[in-house]
Structure 1
Amino acid sequence: MSFKSIIQDMRDELGSISRKGFEVKLGYGLRSRSHRVVHDALSPPLVDALSQSCWANMPPELLRDVLIRIEETVDSWPLRKDVAACAGVCRSWRDIMKEIVKTPEVSGKLTFPISLKQPGPRDSPLQCFIRRNRNTQTYHLYLGLTQALADDGKFLLAARKCRRPTCTDYLISFNTDDMSRGSGTYIGKLRSNFLGTKFTVYDAQPPHAGAMISRSHSSRRVGSKQVSPKVPAGNYPVAHIAYELNVLGSRGPRRMHCVMDSIPASAIEPGGVAPTQTEFLHNSPDSFSSLPFFRSKSSLRENLSGSLSNLKEGNLILKNKNPRWHEQLQCWCLNFRGRVTVASVKNFQLVASEENASADHEKVILQFGKVGKDLFTMDYCYPISAFQAFAICLSSFDTKIACE
């Protein structure tokens, strides 16, 4: 039996499983329009069918060779959903796929939900875009499937704006339908101060070993009896964003800087390492632990690589790249390399600050800009993650009268 026929047979069997209901209603979508995702928590009849299947009892050496070839043959979505589907077949398949699939830093690919919490690639940025819905105050992040800015893209994250008397919150989730803090797909939030000039990015899971939970009012409520046990553990600050005041408008466009609490300054140096989450940690029985794909018996320190013991040397600080005044166009300009087409005060590029010694201060780590009425591009690379980049970009949507 040839290898090609094996692959075809296996895909036909996976396809029949998919048609019987191998779909999810939880967050990390395969199709951008319906926002559905692959789910590995199969129903009991499907589990029984798979346990009797010849694929569940394949020799480990042959199985590994087959899965490696599948992973190598698909580079981008939507075909890459086959890799996620293989990881949901059974425990042995899942364990092998978790070993085969590399982090975005190495592979430059986003495969599983945890990829959105891991640092981006070192060599070239991942090109994404954000769609804004003014009516519902929601923002959707997509991975660009082609160079065209008009494609549907691959759904990654969603955020909803919540106005409060003293601040504004942006709740970030894997699910477009349920972005509440009590949802199992809630992964963090962005919170502003009263003026909208300072923001804090909170992660619902500890970003590294020894991370300190915030003592804010919302985090104290998590332990109270009035809150549902489905609410994630709390708020772990991972970044602080500040926009400089510019009341008279004498200093040109907006100026901002970001202090990445969870990333050491040494991460951008040659050979530097940024903390990398390898699994979602579970704080309640109804959280991600309900999915076998995310279940693990490993401890916190085993799930988080890149300990932040070297954070004492200083955190990574990002600042916006200063634009240059164009005499002929009579405006401030930045080179976005064709990824931004509409002039907007929201456009920015983030580079390492001069405070980070021996850093490449010209390398753009995060780029955000407008290409349509409610369409924006977002390109990011190592050492920040898609979640962190998305949260930073959300801060640019707030109106900042004192900073314009």
Structure 2
Amino acid sequence: MYSPDPGENLEEFVLKPAPQGVTMKCRITRDKKGVDRGIFPTYFLHLERDDGKKTFLLAGRKRKRSTTSNYLLSTDPTDLTRNGEAFIGKLRSNLLGTHFTLFDNGTNPKKRPVASRQELVAIAYETNVLGFKGPRKMTVVIPGMNLDHERVEIKPRGDHDGLIEKWKRKNMENLLELHNKTPVWNDETQSYVLNFHGRVTQASVKNFQIVHDNDVDYIVMQFGRVAEDVFTMDFNYPLCALQAFGIALSSFDGKLACE
């Protein structure tokens, strides 16, 4: 079986879509140790290799002095700073914590339009009508692929032409809309369940699978808990590791809409 390896260039690897036909199996560990880690834990993403070893890919941490949820993502587990060399992207929510956007490490177009940032993924959570018990609904919007299987660049010039805004206006040209698969109620366990084929062992409202409406059997991404602070995250083409990690981080965020 083909097992992709980041090799020398980690930044290139985490931005590259998963090879077609290969499921990238990863795990996320949440580190809550330290004084403020309980509120601002660090998340580490590792690629699980066929030989049982794990390869570090990304780290993410919530920023402290930010009005909305704002995560910094880095290819260095020890350097989670905005100005660090390893800074690769950031995930930012709206005030309500219902919409999230993942940017690459480009600059804000208002500050420097030349090297302006790309939007790599947007996640919209629907407030749950059933209160806290039922499964939550999420919509994931990602840039589409061109004929060479490269990601279409989405570089908004302002606040009104980003992924979330395009999706709200149903302007989906060059974009893909994905949803979480609806879990089925299981009488035995008295809970909503999805089949994770052994990759997820603990029930949690945060477990999810992302699919396209046209083919609900093709799991673009799945995420779920295996221990208190350990989660599996598997993704397929056309997602890259950075996009999948951003989607997973948004689901950790503890706002009302997503609990």
Q: What code does the residue aligned with 1:169 have?
A: N
CA spacing shift, 1:234–1:320, aligned 2, 3 Å: same
Which of the residues 151, 156, 176 maps onto 1:275? 151
What secondary structure is seen at the aligned counterpart in 2 of 1:249? coil
Structure 2: runs of 5+ lacking an equivalent: 154-170
Q: 2:30 matched to 1:132?
A: yes
Q: 2:78 matched to 1:185?
A: no
Could you say which residue in structure 2 is the equivalent of 1:160?
A: 61
| 1:188–1:235 CA contact under 8 A, matched in 2 | no
TM-score, normalised relative to structure 2: 0.80
**Which portions of structure 1, spanning 4 or more consecutive aligned residues, are displaced by more than 6 angstroms?**
none
Q: Once structures 1 and 2 are overlaid, which stretch shifts more, 338-347 or 232-241?
A: 232-241
User: What displacement does 1:126 show?
Assistant: 0.9
- Please give the alpha-carbon distance, in whole angstroms, between the structure 2 residues aligned to 1:162 and 1:334: 32
Which of the residues 141, 158, 161 maps onto 2:45? 141
Which of the residues 95, 112, 120 maps onto 2:18? 120
- Please give the alpha-carbon distance, in whole angstroms, between the structure 1 residues aligned to 2:132 and 2:75: 41
Q: What code does the residue aligned with 2:243 have?
A: Q
- Please give the alpha-carbon distance, in whole angstroms, between the structure 1 residues aligned to 2:148 and 2:134: 34
What secondary structure is seen at the aligned counterpart in 1 of 2:135? coil
Could you say which residue in structure 1 is the equivalent of 2:243?
A: 388
Aligned length: 234
CA spacing shift, 1:155–1:332, aligned 2, 3 Å: same
Could you say which residue in structure 1 is the equivalent of 2:212?
A: 352
Which of the residues 183, 193, 206 maps onto 1:333? 193
Could you say which residue in structure 2 is the equivalent of 1:238?
A: 120
Measured on the aligned residues, the alpha-carbon RMSD in Å equals 2.8
CA spacing shift, 1:317–1:170, aligned 2, 3 Å: same
- Please give the alpha-carbon distance, in whole angstroms, between the structure 2 residues aligned to 1:345 and 1:312: 29
Q: Which has the larger radius of gyration?
A: 1
User: What displacement does 1:189 show?
Assistant: 0.7
Q: What code does the residue aligned with 2:86 have?
A: T
What secondary structure is seen at the aligned counterpart in 1 of 2:101? strand
Q: 2:102 matched to 1:201?
A: yes
CA spacing shift, 1:335–1:198, aligned 2, 3 Å: same
What secondary structure is seen at the aligned counterpart in 2 of 1:371? strand
Q: What code does the residue aligned with 1:373 have?
A: E
More helix by share: 1
What secondary structure is seen at the aligned counterpart in 1 of 2:227? coil
User: What displacement does 1:178 show?
Assistant: 1.4
User: What displacement does 1:371 show?
Assistant: 0.2
Residues 173-223 of structure 1, C-alpha deviation per residue, up to 9 Å, x if partnerless?
Answer: 111121212111111010012221110000114xxxxxxx754xxx63x69
What secondary structure is seen at the aligned counterpart in 2 of 1:363? coil
User: What displacement does 1:318 show?
Assistant: 1.0
Instruction: Work out which structure has the larger RCO, using CA pairs closer than 8 Å and 6 or more positions apart in sequence.
Output: 2
Which of the residues 253, 271, 283 maps onto 2:135? 253
| 2:251–2:258 CA contact under 8 A, matched in 1 | no
User: What displacement does 1:163 show?
Assistant: 3.6
Q: What code does the residue aligned with 1:371 have?
A: V
| 1:129–1:144 CA contact under 8 A, matched in 2 | yes
- Please give the alpha-carbon distance, in whole angstroms, between the structure 2 residues aligned to 1:329 and 1:144: 29
CA spacing shift, 1:197–1:312, aligned 2, 3 Å: closer
TM-score, normalised relative to structure 1: 0.53
- Please give the alpha-carbon distance, in whole angstroms, between the structure 2 residues aligned to 1:248 and 1:384: 30
More strand by share: 2
User: What displacement does 1:361 show?
Assistant: 2.9
User: What displacement does 1:312 show?
Assistant: 7.2
| 2:144–2:152 CA contact under 8 A, matched in 1 | no
| 1:119–1:276 CA contact under 8 A, matched in 2 | no
Which of the residues 355, 370, 375 maps onto 2:230? 375
Q: What code does the residue aligned with 2:48 have?
A: G
Q: 2:174 matched to 1:319?
A: no
CA spacing shift, 1:342–1:248, aligned 2, 3 Å: same
Task: Summarize the alignment of residues 38-53 of structure 1 with structure 2, pairs less than 5 Å apart.
Answer: none
| 1:243–1:254 CA contact under 8 A, matched in 2 | yes
Residues 99-128 of structure 1, C-alpha deviation per residue, up to 9 Å, x if partnerless?
Answer: xxxxxxxxx443331111110021130111
Q: What code does the residue aligned with 1:347 have?
A: N
| 1:241–1:258 CA contact under 8 A, matched in 2 | yes
Residues 284-328 of structure 1, C-alpha deviation per residue, up to 9 Å, x if partnerless?
Answer: xxxxxxxxxxxxxxxxxxxxxxxxxxx974411111000000012
Q: 2:257 matched to 1:402?
A: yes
What secondary structure is seen at the aligned counterpart in 2 of 1:154? strand
